[in-house]
Every structure is written in C-alpha cells, then in structure tokens.
Amino acid sequence: MAEGEVAIATSREDRPLPAEMNWSGDGGALRQVQYTGFMYFLKKLTIGLFALLFSVCLVGIVISTVLFTALGKPNNLKEWIRDNKIYDVAINSILDKATNNSLENPSSALNQPEIQKVIKETLTSEVARTTTEQIIDGTYNWMRGDVDKPNYAIDLTSLKNTFAEKAGNVAEQRFVSLPICTITQLRQLTGITDPFVLSCRPPGINIAAEKQKITDQIFGNQDLLPDPIITADTIKMSGDNKPVYKTLKQLPWLYQFLQKAPWIFGILAVLLAIGIVFISPSRRKGLYRVAVSLMINGVLFGISALFIIIATYWVGSNKDLIKNANPDLQSALIGLGKSIANSIDNVLLSFSVVFIVLGGAVLLYLYWTRPKFHNLQPEQPEQPIEELPPNL
C-alpha cells in the first residue's frame, strides 16, 4: 500500500463514529444491546401502566356516575321515598313508639284509640312529605355550595297545637257523653278525673280544666315532635351534640367532586387511550389493546348489573330478612332498596353496552383494514433473453 493510501486509511479509522454507532469491539456492541433492551422494557412497562390506568378511569367513570345518579339528585330521592310509602310508615312508627312508651303510664291519653285517631288525622303523610322535602332541598343546597349550611326552617308548633287541641276536644266529648254518677258510684271514685277511665261523670267536675289537662299532656309529650322547630342546628346524631351538617362537613366537597368526576375520569381515559395507541409498537396494536380493555370492562359491568338484579330479587323474596322488624317498615325499606338498585342497574347496563359497542367497533375496524397478503413473494418480471452476437 502506498504511503498516501496508508495515511487516508488511518485517518478514516481515527474519525469518530455517530453516537448510535460508537462502539469499540464486542463490549460496545453489548452496551448497545443492553440499552436497546432497557428501552424496550421501559416502553412495555409504560404501555402496561397506561392500560391499567385506562381501566381504572373507566371504573371511575361508572362508579362516580352510579353514586351521583343514586344519591346526587334530590328529585330521585323524593320520588323513591314517596313511591315506597316511607312517609306513611314513618308516621305510624312515630305514633307506635309514643304509644308503647305511654303504656308505662296508664293514665296517658295516648293509650286511647280516639286520641290516636285524631293524631293520625292531623299528622298525615302529606305533612311528613312536605317537611322531609324541605329538609332534602335545603341539604342539597348546602352540598352544592349555594349556602354555608342547610337552609331549612320548619315550624311545626301550630301542627302540634292542632292535634293537642283535637285531643282535648275528644276528652271533652267523652266527659259530656258520660252519665252522671250515682251516689254508689261516687263512693267508689277515689279522685279519678280521667274521662277515659271514668264510667260516669262526677257532678260539678270542671270539664274545661280536665280538657286542658289532656291538651297539655299531648302537647308536652316528648315522643311526638319533641322539638317542633326543625332547623339544621336542631338535627343531631344520636349521642352527639353537634349538628349533623357539622359532623359531615366534608359532604359538600364529596358531592361537588362526584358532579365533576365522570368528566375528569372521561378526559383522562381519552388521553390514556391516545397514549397507548401512540406508544405501542404499531397503531393497530395500540387500538387493539384499547378495544379489548373496553370490552372486558363492559362485560364486567354487565355481570355486576346481573348480580345486583339477582341480589335484589333474593332480598325482595325474603320478607323476614330483618327479624323482629315492623313488617310495613321492612317492606318500605326493601322497596326503597329496589328503587336505588334499579337506578344503579340502569347506569351499569348503559355503560356496559356503550363500552362493548365501542370496543367491538374498533375491533371490526381493525379486521376490515387488516393488511392483505395475496402472495408472499411478488412475481418477478420476465427478463428479455439477450440475443447472442453472431459468430464472427
């Protein structure tokens, strides 16, 4: 080799190679393979993480929508309570409790069917419905952040006065209907003035005063509307002196988050799906992964809805599920549970159908746009035969 050629060759050997091709011997090649393997592992890990987070976001969309649909809409709650006759059961339960407590006091007017009748005629389910719906509206105003605390103020003092006065009128009518006591009957009386105990009316008894006694007794009863003025500060949890809204002070934040959560999870799901598609080795593999995830979640939500339907049917068929419970109360609570379960089922089935349809549409797109290979090796064009030159 000439001296000039040696110099040129040496300069080429000393010239640095590009970064991706810069290796020296077998060790450099090994480092290049290790780097490529690490990047491949990192890429696979990222795709797997994105796929997991994508499924989590799908679940988040459904759960937040379920919770907001079941508990976040006051009109739904009002309708469920009304349709399942919760108000009727509540009124009967209040009266039964007051009556049972009064059994310890035989002279209590609440033991008398006539008094119970006038209370039921006054303290109706319509009164309970109006009161409850005012509380519901005021509570949701607070949860939406419109006010600092639930803004309801309900004064049932006039209502309590009404049925107390009606009870007094019943006692007066009872006095008037009694015959005048004979001398023999008077000798048997020992200061008893209760019209519902007396079998005759003592002469000279002050009926107005006895009527007022019954009225005051009913009005002062602590089992019937013990606090007739109802505000957010008077409703407290059992054993806690703090109002309920102060104990549940995080409820407005949770409610407002549930309002936004489906949109938040939905946007994150779309971004993650885009990331999966673009990070995958090919767009088709990314789309396939997203489609499969959608269909799996759709099937799982459909199974969940079916499970809730079966559980609801089982609970409804077991009338004695809550032992020693008031049958009317148990029936009303089961009905309320069914209404809530049906609402949840509708949401789960809707999302199940949407996810399965979306996933199926993507898979159909991938199927119809798949590459078609008719022949593994393309036909080679025929080469023209060269004519040999004539022999000279």
Alpha-carbon dihedral 226, 227, 230, 231, rounded to 10 degrees: -130
pLDDT tens column, 203-226: 888 888 888 888 888 888 777 777
Dihedrals φ, ψ of 230, to 5°?
Answer: -110, 120
Quote the distance between the C-alpha of residue 360 and its chain's center: 29
Q: How confident is the model at residue 20 (pLDDT cuts 50, 70, 90)?
A: very low
201 - beta bridge partners?
Answer: 180
- Whether 14 shows a pLDDT value over 60: the answer reads no
pLDDT of residue 139: 92
User: Do residues 54 and 272 make contact, with C-beta atoms less than 8 angstroms apart?
Assistant: yes
pLDDT tens column, 325-351: 667 777 788 888 888 888 899 999 999
Q: How confident is the model at residue 301 (pLDDT cuts 50, 70, 90)?
A: very high
pLDDT of residue 319: 61
- Average pLDDT over the chain reads 80
H/E element, 103? none
Distance CA 253, CA 85 (A): 31
Place of tokens 């022949």: 375
N-terminal to C-terminal alpha carbon distance within the chain = 43
pLDDT of residue 373: 59
Q: What angle do CA 14, 18, 22 make, to 5 degrees?
A: 70
| Token pair of 302 as six digits | 């459909």
Q: What angle do CA 42, 43, 49 make, to 5 degrees?
A: 85
- The arithmetic mean of pLDDT across residues 255-275, rounded, is 94
Q: Where are the domains of the chain?
A: 55-156+225-368
- Whether 12 shows a pLDDT value over 60: the answer reads no
b/e map 137-176, b = 16+ CB within 10 Å = bbbbbbbeeeeebbebebebeebbebbbbbbbebbbebbe
- The pTM of this model reads 0.71
- 88 or 50, which is more confident? 50
High-pLDDT (> 90) share of the chain, %: 27
